[in-house]
DNA sequence: GGAAATTTGTTCGTATGTATA
DNA sequence: TTATACATACGAACAAATTTC
């Protein structure tokens, strides 16, 4: 699906792609993002790398994760 | 199965311990913190866990890391 | 100058626990 | 209960930047 290669580490590239998709409305507020396992297969990376990508989005305050539920797009305020 | 178990995950415990040591002056501003390898042996954890601990301190803006150099106590501003 | 050692950076794999559906 | 999904933690390997000898 996606061809990922470049100077940036994969987890950052993935984070940027998903962040852009949140921005452009592909993933709407409160909607569930792909599971870590889905990210693994979609971008052909390990679970570790998928988690690193989501960790960045969490740090950016773009998403929240909930054990057993999934990762969700956070609502934008201000 | 692991030892040294508590209410908090190990990486957070380690982060809290080191953060406290930064607070009390054990580790002074601009000084180098123990390398990841040292954290591994000192707390008997894997490198991944050691890195998770430092990741927390980075997120808290308490330390900075530099490839090939090490992890340093950040200088307090404000 | 250069090789070796040190240290962080990235990435993979595996196992087990906990929470939710 | 079973399946799904995230949380924690172990290990391994190589790359890249820096330091040391």
Separation of CA B8 and C1' C18 in angstroms? 14
Global pTM reads: 0.80
Check residues B78 and B69 and name the one with the higher pLDDT.
Answer: B69
Tens digits of residue pLDDT in B40-60 = 999 999 999 999 999 999 999
For strand C, give the nucleotides within 7 A of a protein CB.
6-21
Question: What is the SS3 assignment for B66?
Answer: strand
pLDDT in the model for residue A44: 86
Beta-sheet strands, E only, within chain B: 63-66, 70-73
C-alpha–C-alpha distance, residues A4 and A10, integer Å: 7
Q: Is the pLDDT of residue B1 over 50?
A: no
| Closest nucleotide C1' to the C-alpha of B46 | D10
Residues of chain A predicted below pLDDT 50: 1-6, 78
Closest nucleotide over all strands to B67 (CA to C1'): C8
A46 touches strand C (CB under 7 A): yes
> What's the Cα-to-Cα distance from B46 to each of A33, A46, A73, B36, B61, rounded to whole Å?
30, 19, 32, 9, 23
Let me know: does A39 contact A45? Beta carbons within 8 Å.
yes
pLDDT in tens, A47-63: 888 988 998 898 888 99
């Amino acid at each position: 699906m996606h061809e990922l290669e470049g100077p940036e580490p994969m987890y950052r590239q993935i984070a940027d792609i998903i962040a852009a998709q949140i921005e452009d409305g592909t993933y709407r507020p409160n909607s569930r993002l792909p599971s870590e396992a889905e990210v693994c297969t979609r971008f052909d990376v390990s679970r570790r790398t998928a988690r690193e990508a989501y960790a960045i989005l969490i740090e950016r305050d773009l998403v929240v994760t909930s054990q057993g539920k999934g990762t969700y797009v956070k609502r934008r305020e201000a």
